Structure 1
Amino acid sequence: LRLSIPTMDIDGIDDNGPEGDGFDLNGDDVHFIAHSLGTFNGIPFVEIANQTSRTEDNIVSANFLTPGGNIARLAENSPVFAPGILLALQSAAGLQRGDADLETFLNVLQASFDSFDPINFVGNLSSTTSTTKALFSEVVGDVFIPNNASPAVDVVQPANIGCNANPYAGISLGEGTAAPLAGTSPLQTASGAVSIGDSTDEASINFIRFESDSGALHTTPAAAASSAEAPAFAEFVTQAASFVLNDGEEITVGDSDLIVDAE
């Protein structure tokens, strides 16, 4: 798909004259934006594309919105995803937190993910052979993809799962095993990303956190589902647009009150 971009005819119009080919997109100026599950695939994609010997598949900049790594442990420690997963495993196979059998299951599951898990690729974004500028955007208190899972997390089921009331709300699923590679924040450590709170034109790999009271939710980068999310949605768009338009050299922070101060 990446290599096919310069041969795409989007509008069906031969706009390059009688001898033209109708191609509409610039294959030398490609940027990547991914959200949530898209970052699971997207981080390895961007890293691999820029590590190849071919320059025509390079990605200029990449914005990873509410990303995560160490997928199996991420899911086990997600307030939204863990209840359905852990209760199903308990019902189907008698597996529950604290059991060696559950730990074995999760370790085998993670092993099947390792060949494409973002946590195993993200460190190469800051290597000397990678040219991609990257921005990671995290929401503090994210209930879909946890910020981190170390120390161990006691997952208490949320009041709602999606749009539906959760009949098991408030029930604890027990404390899991500490997973220092799981979630969003470990991606910063592994990538060497610089935490920023204002505009910057210095770091190649950047990490921005939205305050827990900013109105931002895990899904906010895709759409503002409520008026409370609108300022954060606008901020996500502002940052992404400035990052792309400046080829990853600068990030505009429109409302710094929504952002955690740089560490």
Structure 2
Amino acid sequence: MNGFWKAAPGAYISALANAGLDPTSTNITFANPIPVATGSQTIPVIATVPNAASNQFKPSTGWPVVIFQHGITRNRSDALAIAATLAGQGFAVIAIDLPLHGLPVSSPFNIENSPFGPAANERTFAVDYVNNSTGAAGPDGNADDSGTHFINLSSLLTSRDNVRQGVADLFVLAKTIPSIDFDGNGADFDGSRIAFTGQSLGSIVGTQFVALEPTVNQAVLSVPGGGIARLLEASPTFGPRIRAGLAASAGLQPGTPNYDSFFGATQQAIDSADPVNYAFATLQKSILLHEVVGNGTDVLPDQVIPNAVAGAPLSGTEPLIRAFGLSTLTSTTLSDTRVRGVVRFVAGDHGSLLSPTASLLATMEMQGQMASFLASGGTAVLIQNSSVIRTQ
């Protein structure tokens, strides 16, 4: 829970091998960039394929695939919320959990309750370090919830490397997809047609993955953000708990030099895992980004990942949009090459791609845009209901 990536001592790249650098250093740097593996795990996967009701048929090359990555405190079963929509376009959906996330024992999809339990485990590891109701330290007799320990303010490098590990896991998944055989009749998925959809933290992790993974060229990024340190501090959902924790553990108070220095140091520590630093590397890829901005009256802007943060010009969703260089989409858009755009929603909330609770119309529009974008290979976005998006 407190470990972080380390390199082999002095294992510098050849160009710097004789540069007089510390031969005992295990720091991950540009000069010594490869972490040493500390172990290996078999992790659970959830996959869906189109059924007869979808009116889709498996191509001879296998089903095209959308990799889905969930948000913080969520789990891989969130993929089921978009599976039917994507099945209607002929896509299989495959999802894994982020590090330190997983399904509770009560879930029918919990791997440890299945015949595969001896071979794999939920990545929450059934630890009990905090009270699930209050967040206070100390066991409460129940396994800690999914994602409880992903953000570790007492070990910032651990937080950074939880993001990095999530990216590395997606690399392995992408490489594995062409060999997956779920029915015993040979490989079932087309490794040349892999796209990505992420939600919240899944989009943050996914930005780095899509930027660096050569087999993925289309991505739907739902409600992401960059400048992670101040993003979290300004989040209406996470900010109050973070501020309370810093006040209790270190006496840090907002508006003081030490408080500001802490967040500066935090960003410095996690900067190499921040999506704002990878957006530029997606320029040759198709990107559809969704942002919830509210309507100024009864619909609030995103209450989990803020759209912008006062005094932190690189934090929030809007700075990440600028880093991507996305165009604003207000009507159906077609391109001869690739679409790179953002749709800003005036209805719905942070979770509306997956849940219609806040606005059924917003969920329908988000999923419809996702489906049209991915089905077109990233060259089109169909906008059907302009009443739920910002058009000016």
Partner of residue 208 from structure 2, selected from 34, 41, 44: 44
> Corresponding residue for 1:143?
303
1-structure distance, mates of 2:184, 2:176: 18
State the Cα distance separating 1:220 from its structure 2 match: 1.1
Contact 2:210 2:217 in 1 (8 A): no
Q: Does 1:197 align with 2:327?
A: no
Tell me, what secondary structure is at the counterpart of 2:268? helix
Task: Answer yes or no: is the 8 Å Cα contact 1:76–1:86 preserved in 2.
Answer: yes
Whether the aligned pair in 2 keeps the contact of 1:125 and 1:205 (CA below 8 Å) is no
1:206 is aligned to: 341
| Cα distance in 1, alignment partners of residues 339 and 368 from structure 2 | 18
2:318 aligns with: 185
In the alignment, the residues of structure 1 paired with residue 340 and residue 281 of structure 2 have an alpha-carbon distance, to the nearest angstrom, of 11
SS at match of 2:333: coil
> Aligned residue for 1:29?
193
How far is the alpha carbon of 1:13 from its aligned partner? 3.0
Cα distance between partner residues in 2 of 1:139 and 1:249: 23
Distance 1:121 1:194 in 2: 18
Q: Residues 214-254 of structure 1: CA distance to partner in whole angstroms, max 9, x if unpaired?
A: 2x1001112122xx511111111101100110001000111
| Cα deviation 1:123-165 (Å, max 9, x = unaligned) | 2211xxx3x211110000101000001xx2xxxxxxxxxxxxx
* Distance (whole Å) between structure 2 residues aligned to residue 145 and residue 248 of structure 1: 25
Do the aligned residues in 2 keep the contact of 1:201 with 1:251 (CA within 8 Å)? yes
| C-alpha distance in structure 2 between counterparts of 1:259 and 1:41, whole Å | 25
Q: Which amino acid aligns with 2:363?
A: F
Rounded Cα–Cα distance in structure 2 between residues aligned with 1:245 and 1:104:
46
Q: 2: distance between equivalents of 1:90 and 1:224?
A: 37
Q: Are 1:64 and 2:217 an aligned pair?
A: no
After TM superposition, the structure 1 = structure 2 runs for residues 51-130 of structure 1, keeping only pairs within 5 Å, are 58-126=215-283, 130=284
Preserved contact between residue 193 and residue 206 of structure 1 (Cα < 8 Å): yes
In the TM superposition, structure 1's runs of 4+ consecutive aligned residues that sit over 3 Å from their partners are: none
- TM normalised by structure 1 equals 0.78
**Gap runs ≥5 in structure 2:** 1-172, 294-300
- State the distance in 2 between where 1:256 and 1:13 align: 45
SS in 1 for 2:197: strand
- Contact 2:334 / 2:380 at 8 angstroms: preserved in 1? yes
- 1:222 paired residue among 337, 344, 354: 354
Per-residue deviation, 1:80: 1.1
Could you tell me the percent identity over the aligned residues? 35
2:370 paired with 1:235: no
Q: Which of the residues 240, 248, 254 maps onto 2:378?
A: 248
CA distance in 2 between counterparts of 1:206 and 1:8 reads: 32
Q: Is the 8 A contact 1:201 1:249 kept in 2?
A: yes
Which whole-Å CA distance do the structure 1 matches of 2:243 and 2:366 have between them? 33
Where does structure 1 lack aligned partners over 5 or more consecutive residues? 15-21, 51-57, 153-177
Contact 1:239–1:252 (8 Å) recurs in 2: yes
Paired residues in the alignment total: 211
Deviation at 1:110, TM superposition (A): 1.0
How far did residue 9 of structure 1 move? 0.8
Pairwise CA distance, 1:68:
0.7
Residues 339, 380 of structure 2: 8 Å contact kept: no
Residue 334 of structure 2 aligns with an amino acid whose one-letter code is: D
Q: Write the distance in 2 (CA, Å) between the matches of 1:124 and 1:13.
A: 38
**Structure 2 counterpart of 1:3, from 153, 169, 175:** 175
Q: Residue 25 of structure 1 aligns to which amino acid in structure 2?
A: F
CA–CA distance in structure 2, aligned partners of residues 179 and 123 of structure 1: 20
- Post-superposition shift, 1:204? 3.0
Q: How does 1:155-174 map to 2 (within 5 A)?
A: none
Structure 1 residues 162-186: Cα deviation after superposition (integer angstroms, max 9, x where no partner): xxxxxxxxxxxxxxxx001111111
Q: Which amino acid aligns with 1:192?
A: G
2:237–2:304 Cα contact (<8 Å) kept: yes
Per the normalisation by structure 2, the TM-score is 0.53
